[in-house]
Chains A and B, each alone.
Chain A
Amino acid sequence: MPDLVWFLIRRLFAALLVMLALSLAVYLIFYAIPADPAHLACGKPCTPDRLEQARHFMQLDQSTLQQYLNFLKGIFAGRTFGDGAAAVHCNAPCFGYSFPLARPVTTLIMDRLPITASIALGAAVLWLLIGVSLGVIAALNRGRLLDRLSVGVALIGVSTPSFLLGLLAILVFGFWLNMVPVNGYIPFTESPVDWAWHLVTPWIVLAILQAASYIRLTRSQMLEELNLDYITTARAKGAGEGRVVLIHGLRGVLVPVITLFGLDLGGLLGGAILTEKVFSMQGLGDLLISAVGQLDVAVVVGVTLFSAFLIILANLVVDIVHGVLDPRVSHG
């Protein structure tokens, strides 16, 4: 296990460097856009005087490099804008301050994260189950009706836009059949049943869309796996078909599936923009889109960096799980 510890230390260090480079890139890109956040903050009529005041208050009058350094410093030490009674505090870890929303970006992200996480995690469990089981069924019935059906479902899944499927689901199950709520989010802590009830449609919609790639991956991987010599060995030992497939075959299939799963989930946790919009859920995706609309650069940078962080984290977790699933993978 010391191997694993060293592996983690090295990977975390590398992740930190990547995050740093990324933050600089993101910062430069978004601060290069020809829009002046101070202009939006200064209100109307905006006298040159007040604009200058706003700029100074938001620390936009400093050089780009200085602004970036302030940003980095804020992550560890927090930041204070202005002074005296009008001062605005942003506690560490401070990933910027949204003046339009009058909240620290960190708080905004943490407020929205449970919604996005609820959507993403529930859907992920569903699509993993659907994708892997349909993929296995398809592989075992290669060329037959069940295989064609599964592959057909996969094809429809990959080619349907999420807003179309989402709106259709709302129309049919929400309005026509009146089975499920059409929008809104109830926190889990308030009522777990209502939480799930409000989320079930987005879960299913997202799961159907995502399951497609899992069906195809599982199917092709399982077909390959079933041709391997050790599958013949398992049969020669007297293992039944179920055991051959689930114990000996599936293990090798799970390695690439888990890799894809980790990356998909990491990406989705950063905000399911279209799904959140369709189901009127105020998650991270919604936060990001609104911020873009209002030129709220601090939020855009914060959410983008947070999404990037999740993907880097997902990669790390995938690598660790990979080592657990496949004893040939060495973390040394």
Chain B
Amino acid sequence: MAEPVLEVHDLKVTFRTENGSVPAVDGIDFAVAPGQTLAIVGESGSGKSVSSSAVMGLLPSNADVTGEVLLDGRELNGLPADELRKIRGNDIAMVFQDALSALNPYYSVGWQVAEAYRLHHDVSKKVARRRAVEMLDKVGIPDATRRADSYPHEFSGGMRQRVVIAMALVNDPRVLIADEPTTALDVTVQAQIMRQLDDVQDEFGTALILISHDLGVVAEVADDVLVMYAGRAAERGTVRDLFFRAAHPYSLGLLGAMPRVDVPPKPRLTTIPGTPPAPGSITTGCPFQPRCAYTHLVGERCVTERPELTPRPGEGDHEAACHLGRRPADA
């Protein structure tokens, strides 16, 4: 793998609340290289979005973030607000899930894209606007010169998401974090948006961090995958490692819950029984143990000892955090 542009080591996020501190992310590592796509997958509440907000320094003031966030080797965590501001939107940009609420309803889309450019470039409004129109055109907004004066509510969901992407890419960021960019969209529009992201990634060599729970999308665009469960990494590896050699029962559960066209349909989709644990509620043992179908093969250890990431057979750094040494499928 090429030299990573963004590296995260032992990232921990704890929220201080009235009921004590709640750990949302409990020590995760990941890295992404230029032109590569890292997918972070997991259920709601697994800490995916909190991790990406922590990288951007966008968490509220009651969040404690520890660990290293390195952009080209430069530590971002703990950087003064003003230094971080210069990096946000310029070196690391973000595409949000719900484009309607992510866009300011009071300003035209052209203004909003131009603003993103002007925040990091000392140019006139005219130049910024020209750049904004160019960007809107590039992400596939028809008649961009005229549409730049329209307001977000005058666009369809897919077009709005394109605007958000244009806004994120207007400064040619090194890293793009896309937080469930297609969840709110129709399936056909989803495909268009993902292709759009893929195209710009190819063109600019952007490193993409895709936060998703849609394994179909992940299989299509990701190079590497990090599976998160309860604020920790359950498994990580290349996309082929995950899809062909999944080593963690949770990953297997996710794969099993995915509808597929290439196998005979089952009357109902398989689900993972139970719900994810509340943050901070599991202190000893494996966080997935209460929902795991393989605990009986391991025994006591799952309840008493927390599994660490250990190497698994695969294409590279395939690792899983499970006491079961074999692949569950073989067990």
Contacts and interface: CB of A to CB of B under 8 A. Distances in A.
A4 interface: no
Contacts of B58: 232, 235-236
B96 A325 contact: no
A326 B151 CA distance: 10
A44 B90 CA distance: 88
Interface string A154-168: 000000000000000
Interface string B101-121: 111111110000001100110
Interface in A221-240: 228-230, 232-240
A240 B85 contact: yes
Contacts of B105: 230, 252, 326-328
Q: Binding site of A, secondary structure by majority: helix, strand, loop or mixed?
A: helix
A228 to B, nearest CB: 7
Nearest to B82: A240
A79 interface: no
Interface in B68-94: 81-82, 85-90, 93-94
Interface string A303-329: 000000000000000000000011110
A216 interface: no
A198 interface: no
Given A232-B96, A252-B106, A328-B153, A237 B101 contact: no
A236 B116 CA distance: 9
A233 B119 contact: no
A232 B58 CA distance: 7
Which of A229, A238, A239 has the most chain B CB atoms inside 10 A of its CB? A238
B153 A239 contact: no
Contacts of A228: 101
B56 interface: yes
A238 B102 contact: no
Contacts of A237: 88-89, 93, 115-116, 119, 167
A238 B119 contact: yes
Given A229-B96, A327-B151, A328-B153, A236 B56 contact: yes
A285 B115 CA distance: 49
Contacts of A235: 58, 88
Nearest to A241: B81
Contacts of A234: 104
A57 B82 CA distance: 79
B198 interface: no
B98 interface: yes
A279 to B, nearest CB: 40
A328 B150 CA distance: 11
A238 B151 contact: no
B119 A239 contact: yes
Nearest to A230: B104
A232 B60 CA distance: 10
A219 interface: no
Nearest to B106: A251
Interface in B277-292: none
Nearest to A248: B104
A233 B102 contact: yes
A262 B293 CA distance: 65
A114 to B, nearest CB: 36
A34 to B, nearest CB: 56
A183 B88 CA distance: 58
A327 B98 CA distance: 20
Contacts of B90: 238
A300 to B, nearest CB: 44
B103 to A, nearest CB: 6
Interface in B11-69: 56, 58
Contact of B85 (A233, A238, A326): A238
A1 B107 CA distance: 18
B119 A327 contact: no
A328 to B, nearest CB: 5
B86 A327 contact: no
A233 B119 CA distance: 13
A229 B101 contact: yes
Contact of B116 (A238, A248, A327, A328): A238
Contacts of B153: 327-328
Nearest to B164: A233
A57 to B, nearest CB: 60
Interface in A127-186: none
Which of A228, A230, A233, A326 has the most chain B CB atoms inside 10 A of its CB? A233
A320 B88 CA distance: 37
A233 B109 CA distance: 13
Contact of A325 (B104, B106, B108): B106
A140 to B, nearest CB: 12
A236 B52 CA distance: 11
Contacts of B81: 241
A238 B120 contact: yes
A291 B79 CA distance: 69
Interface of A: 228-230, 232-241, 248, 251-252, 325-328
22 contacts: A229-B98, A229-B102, A232-B96, A233-B94, A233-B102, A233-B103, A233-B164, A234-B104, A235-B88, A236-B93, A237-B88, A237-B119, A237-B167, A238-B89, A238-B119, A239-B89, A239-B119, A240-B85, A327-B108, A328-B105, A328-B151, A328-B153
Interface of B: 56, 58, 81-82, 85-90, 93-94, 96, 98, 101-108, 115-116, 119-120, 151, 153, 164, 167
Given A239-B115, A251-B107, A328-B151, 13 more contacts: A229-B96, A230-B103, A230-B105, A233-B103, A233-B104, A235-B88, A237-B88, A238-B90, A238-B116, A238-B120, A240-B82, A325-B106, A326-B106
- The 5 nearest A-B residue pairs measured at CB: A238-B89, A229-B101, A237-B89, A327-B151, A238-B88
